Amino acid sequence: MKENYKLIISYDGTRYYGWEHQPNTEMTIQGKLEQVLSRMVNAPVELIGAGRTDAGVHAKGMVANAHMDLKRSTEEIRDYVNNYLPDDICVREVRRAGSRFHSRYNAIGKTYCYTCYVGALKPVFNRKYVYIPEEKPDVERMQEAASYLMGTHDFKSFCHNPKIKKSTIRTVDRIEIGKKGDYLNFTYHGTGFLQYMVRILTGTLLEVGYGKRAPESMKELLEAKDRSQAGLTAPPQGLCLMEVDYD
């Protein structure tokens, strides 16, 4: 009898074309996990992710679920999968979930962190996980700009997909920008995020930090509902999905 299993997954997205299946490539996180799970149960397995991280984006706490017929314990499932996964993907935890649990539809919030390196020396060992901005941005200016972006708004100006048909209204209840040593972290929490939204928010806030935009211009940018009015899309390697929230 099939049971529903919830997986918590960490991965280094550097080598992959994102979470979701892509045509003409096996190099996706979802694809690699499904290959191993299908081998374990000797049948096709569909793994449903809480979100669709883009190519080059990382995760510490992606959540996914799959229905499988197994007699193994959750620890045995975890250990089997990790034994056959590549070294840049790890299933941190496996739990039995209710039959109706859906990792995407039941999610009520997500936390992302975007990391910039602002030190004087090259970040040799962390270079795959940070973005090095063109200059050191003014943190206070960015914090002021972020205050206009928090709340429930139409974030169409911060969506990569111009043909999106679903609502672009989202609630972002926390944007924290702070420097710790040589690292500048942008932490976002919200009910959900549009395609490339966190990276476009970060790129736009950095332009505020460089003095290219006024903090209060975020109000007009939200009202414009025009992607071309927002800033550049920050590179993927600085972004990491930290956690997915459920009731």
pLDDT of residue 122: 93
Each residue's pLDDT tens digit, 114-131: 999 999 999 999 999 999
SS3 130: coil
pLDDT at 133: 94
Residue appearing with tokens 């109706």:
100
Q: Are 65 and 102 in contact (CB under 8 A)?
A: yes
- Residue 163: the pLDDT is 79
Are residues 4 and 95 in contact, defined by beta-carbon separation less than 8 angstroms? no
Question: pTM score, two decimals?
Answer: 0.94
Give a yes or no: residue 104 inside a domain: no
Query: Among 69, 97, 125, where does a domain finish?
Result: 97
Question: Which helix or strand (DSSP H or E) is residue 122 part of?
Answer: none
Q: Tell me if 208 sits within 8 A of 215, measured CB to CB.
A: yes
Task: Tally the domains of the chain.
Answer: 2
Residues 169, 156: Cα–Cα separation, whole Å = 8
Query: Domain with 153 in it: what CATH number?
Result: 3.30.70.660
The reply to whether 141 and 210 lie within a common domain is: yes
Catalytic residue numbers read: 54
Residue 168: how many CA atoms within 13 Å on its side-chain side? 21
Helix (H) or strand (E) run with residue 41 in it: helix 29-41
d(CA 22, CA 45): 17
The arithmetic mean of pLDDT across residues 51-79, rounded, is 96
Query: Encoding tokens for residue 187?
Result: 């932490």
Task: Classify residue 103: in a domain, yes or no.
Answer: no
pLDDT of residue 98: 95
Enter the tokens of residue 10: 């960490």
SS3 annotation, 13-40: HHHCCCCCCECCECCCHHHHHHHHHHHH
Q: What is the mean pLDDT of residues 32-45?
A: 96
| Residue bearing tokens 């030190």 | 119
Which domain does 82 fall in, by range? 3-97
Which of 32, 63, 97 is the last residue before a domain boundary?
97
How confident is the prediction for the chain on average, in pLDDT? 96
Q: How many CB atoms lie within 10 A of CB 18?
A: 18
CA atoms within 13 A on the CB side of 167: 7
Q: List the CATH number of the domain containing 67.
A: 3.30.70.580
Q: Is the pLDDT of residue 1 over 90?
A: no
